[in-house]
Amino acid sequence: MLEHLFGSKTRVKLLRLFLNHPDTAYYTRELTRFLDSQINAIRRELANLESMEIIFSFHKDNKGKRHKLGKQEKKYYQINSAHVLYPELRALLLKAHLLLENDLIKRIKKIGAIKYLALTGVFVGFIGAPTDLFVVGNINRDRVTRLVKKFEKDLNYEINYTVMTKTEYKYRKDITDRFLYSILENKKIVVIDEL
């Protein structure tokens, strides 16, 4: 079964999306937009995952009520959280995220002279955080932007990031800037702290 499970990039993208949003149902065209994949590849992998009972499908009528049978406008797919492999798939996804986060950190460290680096927001499950990645130092902002865009594709979600120079950081700290203190006083993983 594992050979079939990880046979394609599209399947992995689908699993990531479904496992990150277990209570959300998606229809095929919506998945092609979210995952930036071909519709035929999406359909094929949905059929594979459904045949393994990792996801299930249903139809919704115009009032939003679910139906197992019948011809309706859209067929929706959702993760089967009762599947025997669900906990292991979630754990595997978390480990894969950690590896991607470590790779992101390594690459950011190579971009310039970093004095402070913290992961917050989506990286620590803090919904409503003003930023997900906070960097203080002298670094090339264009390179950071390109790097973050690449990792957004891999992680399947948007990463909001903030870059400040050491001077700007000190100024904002001295005036007790609300934005800065909302980062410093909330949940985060500090990777570098040389301030």
The answer, yes or no, to whether residue 1 has pLDDT greater than 80, is no
Where is the domain boundary, 28, 56, 84? Answer: 84
- Higher-confidence position of 82 and 62: 82
H helix intervals, the chain: 2-5, 9-20, 28-35, 39-51, 86-109, 141-155, 166-174, 178-184
CATH of the domain at 9: 1.10.10.10
Domain total of the chain: 2
Do 80 and 141 lie in one domain? The reply is no
Do 99 and 171 lie in one domain? The reply is yes
pLDDT class of 115 with cuts at 50, 70, 90: very high
Do 137 and 174 lie in one domain? The reply is yes
Do 42 and 118 lie in one domain? The reply is no
Range of the domain at 13: 2-84
The pLDDT assigned to 17 comes to 84
Do 107 and 77 lie in one domain? The reply is no
CATH of the domain at 128: 3.30.460
Report how far residue 68's alpha carbon sits from residue 125's, in angstroms, rounded to the nearest whole number: 34
The pLDDT assigned to 172 comes to 94
Give pLDDT tens digits for 120-176.
887 777 777 889 889 999 988 888 888 888 888 777 678 899 999 999 999 999 999
Do 64 and 98 lie in one domain? The reply is no
Q: What is the pTM of this model?
A: 0.62
Do 101 and 184 lie in one domain? The reply is yes
Most confident of the following: 60-74, 102-116, 171-185: 171-185
pLDDT class of 63 with cuts at 50, 70, 90: low
The answer, yes or no, to whether residue 71 has pLDDT greater than 60, is no
CB-based burial label for 73 (10 Å; 0-12, 13-18, 19+): exposed
Report how far residue 183's alpha carbon sits from residue 134's, in angstroms, rounded to the nearest whole number: 8
Do 98 and 51 lie in one domain? The reply is no
Where is the domain boundary, 84, 106, 126? Answer: 84
